[in-house]
């Protein structure tokens, strides 16, 4: 389906075809037919009891046959709409001549109107729809003219041709009433049917655009995640490269010491051991990731660390936000001795959290807290960023920046708690991950 560049329902796509109803919807057509059939037979029984069809058994039998026959096209009205309109028109006239009184009843008329409506609403070939609809309308004109010619009045079937009174004589009143009722009858069928077809087209266009937007949104999300993962891989790659270089220097120092003063080789070898463990841990995060953008800076010297977080907090003043960093001396000493990759991850998580505040929050103040805990069972680093702004739908926890914080926390073996603050306005970002301050990991 070719969608109009701008969503305009006046410019309908001429090549669009309304899909055939599902099997479940088609089964409902049987249920509708049974309901209409039961209602129609009940009305015919009421007409019969009131003597509308007279006392001739043949006329009464023909009345029941006409009513039942006119409901049959309803079963397939949506599966074969144009065919049912053609057959329904033939049935309408044939059974109408079989019993003209039955053809004038409500159930008979509604059944045929449903067939006309379904043809206009569900017909796939729109040109054929209107050609067949025009032929049906012409056939009605021919039928009315023949009725007036033969009987002089369509009211003759009710036995009122001799009545005199009112504004019009009986033939004129017959012409006006019959013409008006048929215009309303076939006009409403066409208008309602085309409205249903146009509504289906509108829904199809909206569904297609929604699906396209969904695909674009998923692609953007995937691209953002991939870019974030690639950035993490590059950062870790640089950090590991730094460690490997340092290990080479320490190993060279140990080799020279072994030939002159073996007792001095212990410290370089211990440093090599620490660097090796740190490198192995960080290399786990970049397995199967290929670095393919040589234009970016490389090397550990280009990587920010924990001490650079103060610059991020100070930069909030440019946006009119008061920033405050809290970290005690002991925690700072532990943090700056962590591996460069770990420091970089802490820096990036603070950066993403503050960027989220700047872009998506009404906050006037932000508090950044860095804590460390060291015990006999292991150490922990805790990062917390809180603000006092109103919670925004843009900061619902599904943003790409927040997703990056979660990934970084998981890469460090920790957890991230992101969301609105409890009991007060604002947003919080709390990350906690294990660390070995003895080895700097």
pLDDT tens by residue, the chain, 441 residues:
444 443 333 446 677 888 888 888 888 999 999 999 999 889 888 888 888 787 888 888 888 898 899 999 999 999 999 999 999 999 988 888 887 777 778 888 889 999 999 999 998 888 899 999 999 889 888 877 776 666 555 555 455 555 566 676 666 677 777 778 888 888 888 899 889 988 888 888 888 888 888 888 888 888 877 777 777 666 665 556 656 766 777 787 788 888 777 777 787 787 777 777 766 665 654 554 444 444 444 444 456 889 989 988 888 876 778 999 999 989 999 999 888 888 888 988 898 888 888 777 788 899 999 999 887 777 899 999 999 887 655 444 455 567 778 888 888 889 999 988 888 888 899 999 998 887 766
Q: What is the pLDDT of residues 120-177, one digit of tens each?
A: 999 888 889 999 999 988 988 887 777 666 655 555 545 555 556 667 666 667 777 7
> Within 10 Å of residue 89's Cβ, how many Cβ atoms?
20
Closest CA to 44 of 56, 54, 53, 55: 53
Residues 78 and 176 occupy one common structural domain: yes
**φ, ψ dihedrals at 370, nearest 5°:** -120, 125
Question: Given 184, 216, 248, which residue is the final one in a domain?
Answer: 216
Q: What is the pLDDT of residues 177-226, one digit of tens each?
A: 777 888 888 888 889 988 998 888 888 888 888 888 888 888 888 887 77
Residues 337 and 207 occupy one common structural domain: no
pLDDT of residue 318: 66
pLDDT of residue 243: 62
Strands in 322-326's sheet, in edge-to-edge order, are: 322-326, 365-375, 378-387, 427-435, 415-420
**Position 11 in a domain:** no
Residues 212 and 347 occupy one common structural domain: no
pLDDT of residue 2: 46
Q: Where are the alpha helices (DSSP H) in 76-169?
A: 81-98, 100-103, 106-122, 126-151
Structure tokens at 358: 């700047």
CA angle 418, 349, 382 (to 5 degrees): 70
**Position 259 in a domain:** no
Structure tokens at 293: 């953008």
Q: What residue numbers bound the domain in which 397 lies?
A: 304-441
Residues 313 and 415 occupy one common structural domain: yes
Residues 64 and 191 occupy one common structural domain: yes
**Position 254 in a domain:** no
Closest CA to 121 of 111, 131, 130, 109: 130
pLDDT of residue 256: 80
pLDDT of residue 119: 92
**Position 268 in a domain:** no
pLDDT of residue 384: 94
Question: Given 187, 216, 245, which residue is the final one in a domain?
Answer: 216
**Position 10 in a domain:** no
**Position 55 in a domain:** yes
Rounded to two decimals, what is the model's pTM? 0.49
Domain count along the chain: 2
pLDDT of residue 381: 93
As to burial, measured by CB atoms within 10 angstroms (0-12 exposed, 13-18 middle, 19+ buried), residue 3 is middle
CA–CA gap between residue 424 and residue 388 (Å, rounded): 8
Residues 194 and 342 occupy one common structural domain: no
**Position 404 in a domain:** yes
As to burial, measured by CB atoms within 10 angstroms (0-12 exposed, 13-18 middle, 19+ buried), residue 416 is buried
> Within 10 Å of residue 347's Cβ, how many Cβ atoms?
20
Question: Given 196, 216, 236, which residue is the final one in a domain?
Answer: 216
**Position 316 in a domain:** yes
């Amino acid at each position: 389906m070719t969608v109009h560049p701008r969503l305009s329902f006046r410019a309908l796509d001429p090549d669009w075809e309304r899909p055939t109803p599902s099997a479940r919807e088609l089964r409902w057509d049987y249920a509708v037919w049974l309901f209409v059939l039961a209602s129609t037979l009940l009305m015919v029984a009421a007409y019969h009891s009131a003597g509308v069809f007279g006392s001739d058994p043949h006329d009464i039998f023909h009345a029941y046959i006409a009513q039942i026959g006119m409901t049959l096209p309803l079963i397939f009205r949506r599966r074969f709409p144009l065919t049912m309109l053609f057959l329904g028109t033939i049935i309408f006239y044939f059974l109408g001549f079989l019993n003209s009184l039955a053809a004038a009843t409500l159930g008979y008329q509604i059944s045929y109107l449903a067939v006309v409506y379904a043809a206009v609403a569900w017909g796939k070939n729109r040109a054929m729809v209107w050609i067949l609809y025009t032929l049906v309308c012409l056939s009605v004109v021919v039928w009315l003219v023949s009725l007036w010619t033969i009987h002089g009045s369509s009211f003759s079937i009710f036995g009122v041709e001799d009545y005199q009174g009112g504004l019009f004589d009986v033939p004129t009143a017959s012409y006006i009433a019959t013409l008006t009722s048929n215009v309303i009858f076939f006009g409403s069928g066409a208008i309602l049917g085309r409205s249903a077809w146009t509504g289906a087209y509108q829904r199809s266009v909206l569904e297609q655009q929604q699906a396209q937007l969904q695909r674009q949104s998923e692609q953007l999300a995937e691209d953002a995640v991939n870019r974030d993962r690639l950035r993490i891989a590059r950062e870790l790659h640089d950090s590991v490269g730094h460690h490997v270089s340092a290990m080479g220097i320490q190993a060279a120092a140990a080799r020279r010491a072994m030939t002159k003063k073996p007792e001095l080789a212990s410290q370089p070898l211990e440093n090599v051991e620490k660097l090796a463990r740190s490198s192995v841990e960080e290399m786990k995060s970049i397995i199967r990731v290929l670095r393919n953008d040589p234009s970016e800076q490389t090397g550990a010297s280009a990587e920010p660390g924990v001490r650079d977080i103060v610059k991020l907090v100070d930069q909030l003043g440019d946006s009119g936000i008061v920033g405050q960093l809290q970290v005690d001396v002991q925690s700072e000493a532990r943090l700056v001795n962590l591996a460069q990759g770990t420091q970089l991850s802490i820096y990036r998580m603070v950066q993403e959290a503050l960027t989220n505040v700047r872009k998506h929050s009404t906050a006037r103040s932000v508090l950044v807290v860095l804590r460390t805990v060291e015990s006999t069972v292991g150490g922990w680093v805790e990062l917390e960023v809180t603000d006092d702004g109103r919670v925004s739908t843009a900061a619902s926890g599904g943003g790409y920046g927040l997703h990056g914080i979660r990934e970084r926390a998981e890469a460090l073996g920790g957890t991230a708690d992101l969301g609105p603050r409890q009991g007060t306005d604002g947003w919080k970002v709390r990350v906690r991950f294990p660390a070995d301050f003895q080895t700097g990991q």
